[in-house]
C-alpha cells in the first residue's frame, strides 16, 4: 500500500503531497513537500514540483490519536457544551437546510466549493489558535483547547460520515489478505481544505477491484475507528504501522469520490498506454492494449444497454462513440502486431509475436462485435424515441388547447359573455378528452419509456385540471347570474312577500350550479395529485356559488316573515288567537333562518378574508336589509298574537291570562324601542298593540296570594311530619307561585307611574311580604328535611365504606344547606327592603304585622342552622367512607403487588383523614353547633385516622412485595445486582412499615377497635416476611451466578476462576443459613416481625437450592482443576519437562479426587 498525494476540484487549489510506501522503503519524496496543480475537474495534472509552503502540525502527535473510536471517552462527551457550540456547523444541518439531493452531496465540492466539513474544520483550527493565544495555561482542571479541538473535529467527522452514509455513498469492505492492492495519498481540497486519505490507484489483485473500490474514494475508517487530521510523514508512519500490524480480516470504510467512475476509466486507459510498443515482445505490450480496448468497449456496451432501457438517447450515443474509439485503437494495435510478424527485430520471439497477433486480432473482433451490438441498440433506441415523441407532442398540444380554453372561459365569465364562456368550456372538455385519449393509447401500447409515459400522464392531468377550472368558472357565472335575477325582482330594501311573486324565489339554477361545483370540488379534493393552484381556484369558485345561494336564501326568508306578519295582523283583528300564534311562530322561524344565514355569511367572510371570493357591497346590503326586515316583521307578528291573547282573556274574564298578555306586550315594546335592527314602522306598530291592550288590574288579588302562600306552608309542614316528601314539594311549589304573583303585583303597585293610595300600597306590601315569608319558610323546611335525610344516608354509607354513596349524599346535604342559607340571607335582605319601601311610599304597617314578619324570619333561620349541622356531619361521614375505600384499594393493590397503586391509595386515605380532622376542628370552634354534633364529628375524625394508618401500612407492604418480586425475578436471570436492589427496596419498605406500626401502637388510639389493631400487626408482619424472602432471593441469585461462573470457568479450563466462583457460592449458601438462623431472633424481638410458617418453608427451599448451586460450583471447580492439570501435564510432557508434568498430574489427581469425594 502506498501513501501519497491529492487532487483538487478547482483550478486555484494548491494541494500538498506526502508519499510513503508499505514496503518499509523511504520514497524520494518522503522528505520533500510536493505540490500539484490540477486543471479543472481532470484527475491527472502537471508533474509535482517542490514546495515548502506546507504548514507544520502543532504539538506532538501520538500514535493513539491517529484513529479515534466513536465509543470512547470522546464520544461520551459529544453532547457537552462544546458539542452544542458546533451544532450549527454540522454537515448534516448544512445539507438539510439546502435540501441537497444525493447527487449534489456526491458532487458537493463541485457545487459548493469548500464543503461544510472543510469550512467547519477551518473554523475549528482558527478557534484553537485563538484560545491557545488568549488563555495560555488556564486549563488545568477543564479541557485544554487542543482537547476541545479534537473533540469537535471528531464530532464533525462522525456527522459527515453519517450524512454521506444516508446519501448512499459510503461502503465498508473487509480485506482478508495481507496485500491490500491499492495506493493511497494524503490530500486536501484547495489550500484551506481539510487533509484526508485518498485512494490513488487500485490494482487488479485488490479484493475490491474493479467495481467496489475506485480511485478518488476516501479512506475514512479503519476497523470502525475514524482517521483524524492527517498531517505529515510521522503521521503516515503511524497509520502505516497500525494498518500493517492489524490482524486480518481488516475492515475499512470508504466514501465515494466525486469522480470515481471517470478516474477508474482513466486509470485503466493509462495502464493500456504504458504497455504499448515496447521492444520486449515477450511482455506482449500490444496484447495488453488490445485487451484494454476490449474491456473498455464492453464497459461502454453496458452503458448503452442501460440507456436503451431508460430511454436516454444522448447517453447511448456517447457510449457508442466511445466504443467506436476503442475499435479504431484496437484496429491500429492489430495492424502493428501483424507488422511484427517477419520483422527481423523480433526474430528471437517468433512465437510471442504470432501469439500477440492472434490475441490482438481476437480482441479486435470482440470490439467490432461489441460495436455492432451497440449500433443496433442505439438505432433501435433512436427509432423508438422518435416514434414515442408523437405521443408527447399530441398530449402537449391538447394541454395547450385546454389551457387556452380555460383562460378564455375565465375572461368571458368576468366580462359576462355567456355564449363565449360555454363555447370555451366545451373546448376545454374536448381538449381534456383528447389528452386522456393519448394517455390511454400510451397505456395500451405498454412498452413506452417511463419518461414518455410520465410526460403524457402529466400533460393529461394538467389538461384535466384546466377543464375543471373552466367548468368552475361556468358554475360561478351561472350562480351569479341567477342571484342577480333574484336581486332585481325581490331584493333590496323593499322585500316583498313570497306570495306576491313566486318567480322571485325560483333558485333551481343556483341549486344546480352549487351541485355541479360541489361535485367538481369533491373530485379535485379526492385527487392527491391535483395542483394547489387548481384546488384553490375551484375552492374559490365553490365559495362564490355558495354565497350567491345564501343571498337568495336570505331574501326568501325575509319575504316569508313579511307574509307571516300580515297573517298575524289579520288574525288579531278577528280576534283568532290560534291563527295569530301560528302566524307568529312562522314569522319567528323565518326571521331565525334569515339571521342564521347572515351570521354564517359574516363569520365565513371574517375567516376567509384573504380569499378572492368575498361578498360585494350589493350582497352585503341585501343581507342586512333582509335580516332587518325579517326581524321587524317577526316582532310585529308577536305583538299581534299577544294582542289577540289579551282580547280573548278579556272576553273570557280570565285576569291571569290578561295580566300575562299585558306583561309580555309591555316587555316587547320596551325591548324593541332601542333595537337598531327594528324598523321605525315596526316600533310604531308594536307600541299601538301595547296601548290598545292595556287595561286595569285587579288589586284585590294581593290578599288572595298571601292566603294561598300561608295555606301552602302549613300543608308542607304537615306533609313533612307525615313523611310525604312528594306532597310537601307540591305544596312548596304552590307557596312559591303565590309569592311570585304577590311580588309582581307589589312591584306594579309601588311603581311611580301608578296612582294608588297609601292604604292600597300598604295592603299590597304586607300581603307580598307575608306570601314571600311563607314561601321561604316552606322551602327552608323542605330543604332542612332533605339535609337530615342526606346526613343519615352519608352515615350509613360511611359504615359500609361506600365512598361514592357517601360523597353523593354529602354533596346533596351541602347543596341543601347552601340553598337554605341563601334563602335566609335573601329573606333578611327582603325584610330590609320592605322597611325602605314602607318609608318611601308612606305604606305604614301595623306592629302586629311587623311582629309576625319577625317570627317568620326566625323560623327560616332555625331551618338554616339545622341544615348547616347536617352538612358538617355528612362531610365527616364522607371522609370516613373515603378513608375506608382507600384502605380497601391499598389492600387490593398489595394482592396485585402494585406498589404504585397502593401508594396512591394510601395518599388518598391520608387526605381523607386530614379532611375529617379539619371538619372536626371547624365544628368544635363553632358556637352554633350542638354538643352532640361536635361529639359525632370527633368520632368521625378518629375513625378516618385509623383507616389512613392501615392504608399506609398496606402501601409499605406492597412496596416490600414489589422488592421481593424483583429479587425473585433476578434469581431466574442470575442477576445479583438486580436481586440486591430488590432486597434493599424490601428492607426499606419493612423499616417504614415497622415505623408506622410503632407509631400506631405507641400513641393513644381512643375509639379504634381491636380489629384495626390486629390488622396493623398483621400488615407489618407481612412486610417483614417479604423482606426476608427478598434477602433469601438475593443469596439464591448470588449462588446461581457463582455456579454459572464456575461452570463457565470449567469449560474454559480456568481453575482459578472456578475456585473464585466456588467460594462465592459458599458465601451465598452461608448467607441463607444465617438468614434462617435469624428468624427465631426476630420472633423473640417483636411480635410484629414474627415469621410465618409459609415464609419459613419458602426460605428452607431457597436454602436447599443454594446448597445445590454450591455443590455444582464445587464440581465445576474440581473439573476445571482436573482438566487444567491434564492439559498442563501433556504440554510439559511434550516439552520433556518432567517436574512440571508431575506437578500438573498431581493437580489433575486432586481435581478428580475432589469430584469423587463430592
Write out pLDDT tens, residues 450-476. Answer: 778 888 888 888 888 888 888 888 887
Q: Is the pLDDT of residue 702 over 80?
A: no
pLDDT score for 218: 92
Residue 543 has pLDDT above 50, yes or no: yes
Q: Distance between alpha carbon 883 and the CA centroid of its chain, in Å?
A: 39
pLDDT for 44 beyond 50 = no
Mean pLDDT of 410-428: 87
Whether the per-residue pLDDT at 425 is higher than 70: the answer is: yes
Which pLDDT score, from 0 to 100, does residue 692 have? 62
Q: Is the pLDDT of residue 229 over 50?
A: yes
Share of residues in the chain with pLDDT > 90 (%):
3
The confidence band for 254, taking pLDDT boundaries of 50, 70 and 90, is very high
Question: Residue 641: is its pLDDT beyond 50?
Answer: yes
Given a cut of 60, whether residue 104 has pLDDT beyond it is: yes
CB atoms within 10 A of CB 171: 15
pLDDT score of 505: 53
**Is pLDDT larger for residue 70 or for residue 204?**
204
Measure Cα distances from 434 to 353, 388, 394, 437 in Å: 69, 17, 9, 5
Q: Is the pLDDT of residue 11 over 80?
A: no
Q: Average of pLDDT values for 784-804?
A: 82
Query: Is a pLDDT exceeding 60 seen at residue 197?
Result: yes
CA 464, 470, 472 angle in degrees (round to 5)? 105
Q: Are 911 and 951 within 8 A, CB to CB?
A: no
**Per-residue model confidence as pLDDT tens digits over 1027-1058:** 788 788 788 888 888 888 888 888 888 888 88
Q: Does the structure show a pLDDT above 60 at 1020?
A: yes
Confidence (pLDDT) at 220: 92
Confidence of residue 26 (pLDDT cuts 50, 70, 90): very low
Q: Which residue has the higher pLDDT, 540 or 81?
A: 540
Q: What is the DSSP code (8-state) at residue 64?
A: G
pLDDT for the residue numbered 85: 62
Q: Region 977-1003: what's the mean pLDDT?
A: 77
Of the two residues 531 and 390, the one the predictor is more confident about is 390
Task: Express each pLDDT in 574-596 by its tens digit.
Answer: 888 888 888 889 888 888 887 88
| pLDDT surpassing 80 at residue 509 | no
Report percent pLDDT > 70 for the chain: 82
pLDDT (tens digit per residue) in 916-971: 788 878 888 887 788 888 787 887 777 777 777 777 777 777 777 778 778 778 88
> With b meaning 16 or more CB within 10 Å and e meaning fewer, what string describes 1007-1028?
ebeeebeebbbebbbbbbbbbb
User: At 1089, is the pLDDT very low, low, confident or very high (cuts 50, 70, 90)?
Assistant: low
Q: Is the pLDDT of residue 225 over 50?
A: yes
Q: Report pLDDT digits (tens) over 290-336.
A: 888 888 888 888 888 888 887 788 888 888 898 998 898 898 888 88
C-alpha 636 chain-centroid distance? 56
Q: What is the pLDDT at residue 310? A: 77
Q: Is the pLDDT of residue 891 over 70?
A: yes
pLDDT score at 2: 40
Model pLDDT for residues 268-277, shown as the tens digit of each residue: 777 755 544 4
Average pLDDT, the chain: 76
Residue 413 reports pLDDT greater than 70: yes
Q: Is the pLDDT of residue 157 over 80?
A: yes
Q: How confident is the model at residue 60 (pLDDT cuts 50, 70, 90)?
A: very low
In this structure, of 98-112, 203-217, 271-285, 823-837, the range with the lowest mean pLDDT score is: 271-285
The average pLDDT across 1127-1136 equals 80
Q: Which is higher by pLDDT, 202 or 552?
A: 202
Cα–Cα distance for residue pair 1087/1001, rounded to 1 Å: 12
Mean pLDDT value of segment 783-810: 83
Sequence-distant contacts of 1126-1133: CB under 8 A, at least 24 apart: 1127/1053
Lowest-confidence pick of 104-108, 249-253, 357-361: 104-108
* The pairing of beta strand 2-4 with beta strand 182-188: parallel
Residue 1023 phi, psi (nearest 5): -60, -40
Nearest to 35 by CA among 20, 19, 23, 51: 51
Cβ atoms of 810 and 770 closer than 8 Å? no
Where is average pLDDT lowest: 252-256, 302-306, 344-348, 964-968? 344-348
What backbone phi and psi angles, to 5 degrees, belong to 945?
A: -65, -40
Amino acid at each position: 500500500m502506498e501513501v501519497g498525494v491529492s487532487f483538487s476540484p478547482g483550478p486555484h487549489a494548491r494541494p500538498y503531497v506526502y508519499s510513503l510506501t508499505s514496503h518499509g522503503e523511504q520514497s524520494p519524496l518522503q522528505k520533500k513537500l510536493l505540490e500539484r496543480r490540477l486543471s479543472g475537474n481532470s484527475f491527472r495534472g502537471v508533474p509535482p514540483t517542490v514546495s515548502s509552503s506546507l504548514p507544520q502540525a502543532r504539538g506532538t502527535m501520538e500514535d493513539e490519536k491517529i484513529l479515534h473510536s466513536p465509543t470512547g471517552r470522546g464520544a461520551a462527551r459529544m453532547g457537552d457544551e462544546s458539542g452544542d457550540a458546533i451544532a450549527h456547523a454540522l454537515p448534516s444541518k448544512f445539507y438539510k437546510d439546502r435540501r441537497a439531493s444525493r447527487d449534489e452531496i456526491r458532487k458537493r465540492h463541485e457545487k459548493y466549493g469548500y464543503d461544510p466539513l472543510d469550512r467547519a474544520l477551518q473554523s475549528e483550527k482558527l478557534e484553537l489558535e485563538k484560545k491557545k493565544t488568549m488563555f495560555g495555561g488556564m486549563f488545568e482542571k477543564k479541557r485544554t483547547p487542543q482537547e476541545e479541538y479534537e473533540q469537535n473535529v471528531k464530532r464533525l467527522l462522525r456527522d459527515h460520515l453519517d450524512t454521506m452514509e444516508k446519501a448512499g455513498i459510503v461502503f465498508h469492505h473487509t480485506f482478508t489478505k495481507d496485500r491490500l492492492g491499492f495506493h493511497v495519498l494524503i490530500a486536501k481540497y484547495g489550500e484551506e481544505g481539510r487533509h484526508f486519505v485518498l485512494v490513488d490507484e487500485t490494482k487488479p489483485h485488490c479484493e475490491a477491484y474493479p467495481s467496489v473500490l475506485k480511485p478518488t474514494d476516501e479512506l475514512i475508517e479503519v476497523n470502525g475507528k475514524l482517521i483524524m487530521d492527517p498531517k505529515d510523514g510521522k503521521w503516515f508512519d503511524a497509520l502505516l504501522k497500525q494498518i500493517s500490524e492489524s490482524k486480518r480480516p481488516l475492515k475499512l470504510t470508504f466514501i465515494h469520490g466525486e469522480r470515481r467512475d471517470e478516474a477508474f476509466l482513466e486509470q485503466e486507459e493509462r495502464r493500456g498506454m504504458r504497455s504499448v510498443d515496447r521492444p520486449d515482445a515477450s511482455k506482449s505490450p500490444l496484447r495488453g492494449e488490445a485487451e484494454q480496448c476490449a474491456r473498455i468497449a464492453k464497459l461502454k456496451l453496458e452503458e448503452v444497454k442501460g440507456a436503451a432501457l431508460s430511454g436516454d438517447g444522448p447517453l447511448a450515443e456517447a457510449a457508442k462513440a466511445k466504443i467506436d474509439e476503442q475499435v479504431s485503437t484496437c484496429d491500429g494495435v492489430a495492424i502493428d502486431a501483424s507488422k511484427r510478424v517477419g520483422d527481423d527485430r523480433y526474430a528471437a520471439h517468433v512465437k510471442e509475436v504470432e501469439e500477440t497477433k492472434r490475441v490482438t486480432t481476437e480482441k479486435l473482433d470482440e470490439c467490432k462485435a461489441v460495436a455492432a451490438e451497440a449500433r443496433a441498440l442505439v438505432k433501435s433506441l433512436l427509432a423508438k424515441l422518435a416514434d414515442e415523441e408523437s405521443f408527447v407532442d399530441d398530449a402537449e398540444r391538447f394541454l395547450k388547447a385546454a389551457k387556452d380554453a380555460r383562460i378564455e372561459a375565465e375572461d368571458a365569465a368576468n366580462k359576462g359573455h355567456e355564449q363565449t364562456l360555454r363555447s370555451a368550456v366545451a373546448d376545454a372538455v374536448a381538449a381534456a378528452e383528447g389528452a386522456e385519449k393519448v394517455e390511454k393509447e400510451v397505456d395500451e401500447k405498454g412498452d413506452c419509456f417511463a419518461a414518455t409515459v410520465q410526460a403524457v400522464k402529466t400533460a393529461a392531468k394538467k389538461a384535466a385540471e384546466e377543464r375543471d377550472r373552466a367548468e368552475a368558472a361556468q358554475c360561478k357565472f351561472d350562480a351569479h347570474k341567477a342571484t342577480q335575477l333574484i336581486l332585481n325582482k325581490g331584493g333590496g330594501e323593499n322585500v316583498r312577500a313570497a306570495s306576491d311573486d313566486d318567480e322571485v324565489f325560483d333558485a333551481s339554477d343556483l341549486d344546480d350550479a352549487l351541485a355541479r361545483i360541489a361535485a367538481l370540488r369533491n373530485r379535485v379534493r379526492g385527487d392527491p395529485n391535483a395542483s394547489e393552484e387548481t384546488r384553490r381556484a375551484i375552492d374559490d369558485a365553490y365559495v362564490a356559488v355558495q354565497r350567491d345561494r345564501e343571498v337568495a336564501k336570505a331574501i326568501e326568508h325575509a319575504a316569508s316573515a313579511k307574509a307571516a306578519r300580515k297573517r298575524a295582523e289579520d288574525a288579531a283583528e278577528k280576534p283568532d288567537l290560534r291563527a295569530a300564534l301560528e302566524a307568529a311562530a312562522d314569522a319567528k322561524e323565518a326571521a331565525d333562518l334569515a339571521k342564521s344565514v347572515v351570521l354564517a355569511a359574516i363569520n365565513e367572510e371574517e375567516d376567509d378574508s384573504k380569499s378572492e371570493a368575498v361578498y360585494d357591497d350589493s350582497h352585503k346590503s341585501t343581507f342586512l336589509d333582509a335580516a332587518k326586515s325579517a326581524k321587524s316583521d317577526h316582532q310585529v307578528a308577536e305583538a299581534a298574537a299577544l294582542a289577540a291573547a289579551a282580547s280573548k282573556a278579556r272576553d273570557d274574564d280570565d285576569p291571569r291570562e290578561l295580566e300575562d298578555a299585558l306583561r309580555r306586550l309591555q316587555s316587547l315594546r320596551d325591548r324593541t324601542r332601542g333595537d337598531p335592527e327594528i324598523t321605525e314602522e315596526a316600533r310604531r306598530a308594536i307600541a299601538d298593540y301595547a296601548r290598545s291592550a292595556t287595561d286595569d288590574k285587579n288589586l284585590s288579588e294581593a290578599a288572595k296570594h298571601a292566603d294561598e302562600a300561608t295555606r301552602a306552608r302549613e300543608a308542607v309542614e304537615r306533609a313533612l311530619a307525615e313523611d310525604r316528601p312528594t306532597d310537601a314539594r307540591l305544596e312548596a311549589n304552590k307557596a312559591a307561585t303565590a309569592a311570585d304573583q304577590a311580588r309582581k303585583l307589589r312591584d306594579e303597585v309601588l311603581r311611580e307611574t301608578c296612582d294608588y293610595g297609601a292604604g292600597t300600597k300598604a295592603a299590597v306590601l304586607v300581603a307580598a311580604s307575608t306570601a314571600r315569608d311563607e314561601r321561604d319558610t316552606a322551602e327552608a323546611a323542605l330543604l332542612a328535611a332533605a339535609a337530615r335525610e342526606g346526613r343519615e344516608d352519608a352515615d350509613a354509607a360511611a359504615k359500609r365504606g361506600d365512598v361514592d354513596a357517601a360523597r353523593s349524599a354529602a354533596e346533596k346535604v351541602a347543596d341543601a344547606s347552601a340553598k337554605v342559607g341563601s334563602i335566609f340571607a335573601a329573606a333578611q335582605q327582603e325584610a330590609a327592603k320592605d322597611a325602605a319601601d314602607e318609608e318611601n311610599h308612606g305604606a305604614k304597617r301595623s306592629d302586629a304585622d311587623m311582629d309576625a314578619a319577625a317570627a317568620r324570619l326566625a323560623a327560616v333561620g332555625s331551618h338554616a342552622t339545622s341544615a348547616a349541622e347536617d352538612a358538617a356531619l355528612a362531610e365527616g361521614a364522607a371522609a370516613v367512607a373515603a378513608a375506608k375505600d382507600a384502605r380497601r384499594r391499598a389492600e387490593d393493590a398489595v394482592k396485585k403487588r402494585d406498589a404504585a397503586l397502593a401508594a396512591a391509595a394510601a395518599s388518598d386515605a391520608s387526605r381523607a383523614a386530614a379532611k375529617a380532622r379539619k371538619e372536626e376542628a371547624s365544628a368544635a370552634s363553632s358556637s352554633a353547633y350542638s354538643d352532640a354534633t361536635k361529639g359525632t364529628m370527633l368520632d368521625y375524625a378518629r375513625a378516618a385516622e385509623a383507616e389512613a394508618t392501615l392504608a399506609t401500612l398496606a402501601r409499605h407492604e406492597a412496596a416490600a412485595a414489589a422488592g421481593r418480586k424483583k429479587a425473585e425475578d433476578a434469581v431466574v436471570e442470575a442477576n445479583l445486582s438486580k436481586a440486591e436492589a430488590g432486597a434493599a427496596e424490601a428492607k426499606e419498605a419493612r423499616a417504614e412499615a415497622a415505623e408506622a406500626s410503632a407509631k400506631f401502637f405507641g400513641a393513644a388510639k381512643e375509639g379504634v377497635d381491636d380489629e384495626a389493631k390486629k390488622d396493623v400487626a398483621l400488615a407489618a408482619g407481612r412486610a417483614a416476611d417479604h423482606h426476608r424472602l427478598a434477602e433469601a432471593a438475593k443469596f439464591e441469585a448470588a449462588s446461581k451466578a457463582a455456579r454459572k461462573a464456575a461452570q463457565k470457568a470449567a469449560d474454559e479450563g480456568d481453575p482459578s476462576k472456578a475456585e473464585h466462583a466456588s467460594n462465592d457460592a459458599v458465601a451465598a449458601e452461608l448467607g441463607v443459613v444465617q438468614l434462617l438462623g435469624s428468624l427465631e431472633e426476630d420472633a423473640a424481638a417483636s411480635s410484629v416481625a414474627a415469621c410465618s410458617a409459609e415464609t419459613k418453608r419458602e426460605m428452607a427451599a431457597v436454602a436447599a437450592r443454594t446448597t445445590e448451586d454450591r455443590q455444582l460450583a464445587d464440581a465445576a471447580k474440581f473439573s476445571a482443576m482436573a482438566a487444567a492439570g491434564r492439559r498442563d501435564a501433556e504440554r510439559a510432557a511434550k516439552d520433556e519437562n518432567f517436574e512440571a508434568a508431575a506437578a500438573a498430574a498431581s493437580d489433575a489427581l486432586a481435581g478428580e479426587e475432589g469430584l469423587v469425594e463430592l
